[in-house]
Structure 1
Amino acid sequence: MKRRDFIKVTGLGAAGAATLAAPAIAQSMPEIKWRMPTSWPKSLDTLYGGAEMMAKMVAEATDNKFQIQTFAGGEIVPGLQVLDAVQNGTCEIGHTASYYYFGKDPTFTFGSSVPFGPNMRINQAWYMLGGGKEILNEFYKKYNVVSLLAGNTGCQMGGWFRKEVKTPQDFKGLKFRIGGFAGRVLQKLGAVPQQIAGGDIYPALEKGTIDAAEWVGPYDDEKLGFVKVAPHYYFPGWWEGGPILLAFVNQDKWNALPKYYQSILEQAGHFANNWMMAKYDQSNPQALRRLLAAGAKLHPFSPEIMQASFKAAKELHAEVSSTNADFKKVYESLTAFSNNGYQWFQVAEVGYDNFMARNSQS
């Protein structure tokens, strides 16, 4: 709601509005212009669209006093260097996936999704109300940034493969584009993980530089054209059961903002988060139908692959926890919250969803 609309709704007359605006509101709304690089190509109107939506909401809520200009990956900052640009103050804010930076510290994976972590709702509940935001920002402070909730894709797909994979042995030597910490899990199965920004995946897959690639899900994958060069489409993306996307804000720039602007920025991120989840739920079903019509061959990962991957993930989590106190602290917090959440989900949510899926007419 714009400030003018708020004044109308609350019934303030011209005199009351003038009194409120001078100087209480007007003077507390300085003109600020920020730049927001993202990790996404503009063609992805869900991921990049989330950043645009966040900026739009900030502008509308401040009568354009606080403006954020968004940039696609590679325009002013490489897609996988958004955190670095915000950390060193090159840009004030960035929209990205935390797990892209797990090479700096494996703890970065939790700001997105840990392999075999919780679904979208449990992950978000942990971040918002389960202590996740506080424990993550304590960690992010070491990198001079603050995190704000800014998106979620829901459970992702398992990716596009040139050839079928039926057993864990089929991953040996497989060059697989996969984001974040999950690549280290697949290394335990013999795969060769590659971290490649979204806009560069198709040519790598087309040329055979990689054998398989995962991105998000049907709607985004269709836009990137993977079905043309790797027809085997697997599910589920066990490494991303409900990955959060974050806006990283430079710590000094955040502290310098008026409290009013901090609140607006945070709420704009929540709006973008809800919009993104709704957008994917709206768009993925139709996109999957189109991909199947275009020749995609849909496969579930076999039980053998799922169990081997789960075992490898748990081993890796334990190994990293034994040497990294930050990782251990966040992992224990998330795992306890997730286990409790799934005890509830299996009572009503899972049973209901399974029944409705079996009885779906379309």
Structure 2
Amino acid sequence: MFSLKTLTVGAAALAMTATAAFAETVIRVQSVIPAQADEVTMLNEFAADVAALTGGSLKIEVLPAGAVVGVRETLDAVDSGLIEGGFAWTHYWSGKHPAAMLFGSPVAGAGVGIDNIAFVSWFQYGGGKELYDQLWDEMGVNVKGFMLQPVGPEALGWFKEPIASMDDFRKYRFRTPPGIPGQTYKDIGVASVAMGGGDILPALEKGTIDAAEWCCPKPDSVFGFQKVLKHYYLQGLHQVVVNADLYINGDVYDGLTDLEKKALEVAANASLSKAMSYRIYENGKALKDLTENHGVILHDTPEDYFSEYMTAAKAALETNAAENEFFAEVWQSQKDFAEIAVPFWAGAQTSNANLGRAYADSLK
């Protein structure tokens, strides 16, 4: 027979066990971009998936840029544990290690024809994930990373007047991304100016720059470039692939349950697909609005851009590979993957591109 005291103690122990079982972990993730950006929309969707998969035991709270630390301090803040998580493009941290560019923004498709879909194939099945996990050790940061949002190809950008050749292009002071993509523009004689997204429109209005790129029709229209510039070029090589990623402090990640870790992995894999699907439709709607309601004129990029930029990009990749062993290892992995996958994928995509172009031309 159990005494009342025994039953009471047992009930208390059971209640404590239940409370522990349903303990909630909150990971604060500071973004490097404003809350209204499409990337944050998809990050919140990822967070909802994680919460659903864990029954609410793991929740991700998204903080806007600058909420705790400055944008440039985001990764260091995650490393130190000042914030539990961060959200950015991994090429932002190329100053810590040049190979970060190969994961966040492999210039000109890593010089071997890798587009955003092929990049996901390399990451998931071609050895990329294992190298990505190694990147944080190479950087010397206590971080667990998750690729979430592969975007691309990014538009060449916005201009005051049409450009018919690289000679026309070189007349402009042009906002570019930092790191190798921006440096490659300098290498082909373009006056490349790196600056944050929020600074671009004011710089255009003041005349500090007179041409710019950011991303794609939807994000570009949110920044309002169409208010100043009307000539838009979709085809660019500088960021054929660009990934927005999640970073979690290593100690915080290690403290999660196996179920919670698996939920992050599953939700991240889902996000790789969902982000691309979301962007195709949103960019389509934005491009239609820009051309029909804002006087934006869509052009094809001059042919000589592709040969000049690709040649300079390959030279930059070779220089970095010669100077850094891990960079060389990652790039070799991408080249080995491309040798097998790109001939098939490029051939297949040619059919898709021609099919789509035929339909787009019929709409004109």
TM norm structure 1: 0.87
By how many angstroms is 1:211 displaced? 2.2
Q: Match for residue 34 of structure 1? A: 27
RMSD, matched Cα: 2.3
- Residues 1:227 and 2:220 are matched in the alignment: no
5+ residue gaps, structure 1? 1-20
Q: One-letter code of the match for 1:152?
A: P
By how many angstroms is 1:61 displaced? 2.3
Judging changes above 3 Å, is the alpha-carbon distance between structure 1 residues 276 and 36 closer, same or farther for their aligned structure 2 residues? same
Q: Match for residue 151 of structure 2? A: 153
Deviations 1:74-116 (A, max 9, x none): 2333334322221222211111101122233221112222111
By how many angstroms is 1:274 displaced? 2.3
Q: Match for residue 188 of structure 1? A: 187
By how many angstroms is 1:53 displaced? 1.3
Q: Match for residue 9 of structure 2? A: none
Distance 1:57 1:112 in 2: 23
Alignment of 1:1-362 (within 5 A): 27=20, 30-44=23-37, 46-117=38-109, 118-141=114-137, 142-172=140-170, 174-180=172-178, 181-293=180-292, 294-359=294-359, 362=363
Identity, % of aligned pairs? Answer: 27
Name the SS of the counterpart of 1:105 in structure 2: coil
Q: Match for residue 18 of structure 1? A: none
Distance 1:112 1:25 in 2: 42
Q: One-letter code of the match for 2:321?
A: S
TM norm structure 2: 0.86
Q: One-letter code of the match for 1:77?
A: V
Name the SS of the counterpart of 1:230 in structure 2: coil
Name the SS of the counterpart of 2:312 in structure 1: helix
In terms of mean alpha carbon deviation, does 323-332 or 230-239 score higher? Answer: 230-239
Contact 2:236 2:301 in 1 (8 A): no
Distance 2:16 2:353 in 1: 53
Judging changes above 3 Å, is the alpha-carbon distance between structure 1 residues 278 and 109 closer, same or farther for their aligned structure 2 residues? same
5+ residue gaps, structure 2? 1-13
Distance 1:78 1:210 in 2: 24
Name the SS of the counterpart of 1:322 in structure 2: helix
Judging changes above 3 Å, is the alpha-carbon distance between structure 1 residues 26 and 351 closer, same or farther for their aligned structure 2 residues? farther
Contact 1:119 1:242 in 2 (8 A): yes
Contact 2:197 2:214 in 1 (8 A): yes
Contact 1:171 1:189 in 2 (8 A): no
By how many angstroms is 1:22 displaced? 9.3
In terms of mean alpha carbon deviation, does 146-155 or 160-169 score higher? Answer: 160-169
* Higher helix proportion: 2
Name the SS of the counterpart of 2:147 in structure 1: strand
Name the SS of the counterpart of 2:208 in structure 1: coil
By how many angstroms is 1:289 displaced? 1.6
Contact 1:174 1:190 in 2 (8 A): no
By how many angstroms is 1:26 displaced? 7.1
